[in-house]
Structure 1
Amino acid sequence: MARFNYVELPVRDVAGVKDFYASAFGWSFAEFGPDYAATTSGDTDIGLNGDASQWTAQLLPVIEVENLEAALESVRSAGGTITLPIFAFPGGRRFHFRDPHGHELAVMTPEEE
């Protein structure tokens, strides 16, 4: 069975975007040279690619959290921009934000059973 396990974001400032995600979500990153850093949780990880020659089109990664309101405040406090406020969808609730590089991501919490 295949599963989604990694998202790579093109970034101009690896250190700055790494600091944003560490502040917003508490993630830690391993550095793989001056132009690349990645989480190494063994689950679905995120890579920050600073080599513009390798950049591709942007995706919409979705981050699952337990407390959506707390995550929204963490994203704001870390310097993210909310692009869609919290809304309900079949299966849960979520919001969208842009990180300091301009990537749009979503944060969601599943519907309680």
Structure 2
Amino acid sequence: MSIRGRDRQIDNIEFNVGDIARSKAFYGEVFGWSFVDYGPSYSEFSDGRLTGGFTSGEPVRPGGPLVILYADDLERTQRRLEAAGAVISRQTFAFPGGRRFHFIDPDGYELAVWTADDAQA
């Protein structure tokens, strides 16, 4: 799968949920979403156009899902965010298929940026 051409675009939305099975049942029944499980604490969803995920690995946060952007060059994007005044709220960490970090924008919203393992700067 090639993800080139998505640099600095919204790529994913992640919901921290209390019960992944309950969330899958709810969104599957109401909206017809399909799911792919990646272990006990993460399930990817697809609505046919956009993918996202349900995770139980972190606490449920009021205020909505986590919006995740894609970057070809994760480090350069982090430097640009910091120069623009963003606060890094979670340092870069690896996960199967890539790496990501979280940041807080000037209005207090937390977002994340990820890159694939094979991304070229």
Give me the TM-score of the superposition, normalised by structure 1. Answer: 0.51
Distance in 2 of aligned mates of 1:59 and 1:102:
14
Asked which structure has the greater CA Rg, the reply is 2
Q: How many residues are matched?
A: 63
Deviations 1:40-81 (A, max 9, x none): xxxxxxxxxxxxxxxx93210110010000000001001100
**Aligned mate of 1:4, from 47, 50, 69:** 50
The percentage of counterpart residues that share the same residue type is: 41
Q: 1:103 Cα shift?
A: 0.7
Distance in 1 of aligned mates of 2:111 and 2:82:
13
- SS in structure 2 at match of 1:100: coil
Distance in 2 of aligned mates of 1:69 and 1:2:
31
**Aligned partners of 1:61 and 1:105 also within 8 Å:** yes
Q: Which residue of 1 aligns with 2:103?
A: 97
The answer for unaligned runs of 5 or more in structure 2 is: 1-46, 52-61
Q: Which residue of 1 aligns with 2:90?
A: 84
Distance in 2 of aligned mates of 1:4 and 1:57:
20
The answer for unaligned runs of 5 or more in structure 1 is: 6-55
Where in structure 1 do 4 or more consecutive aligned residues deviate above 2 Å? none
- SS in structure 1 at match of 2:69: strand
Q: Which protein has the bigger helix share?
A: 1
Give me the TM-score of the superposition, normalised by structure 2. Answer: 0.48
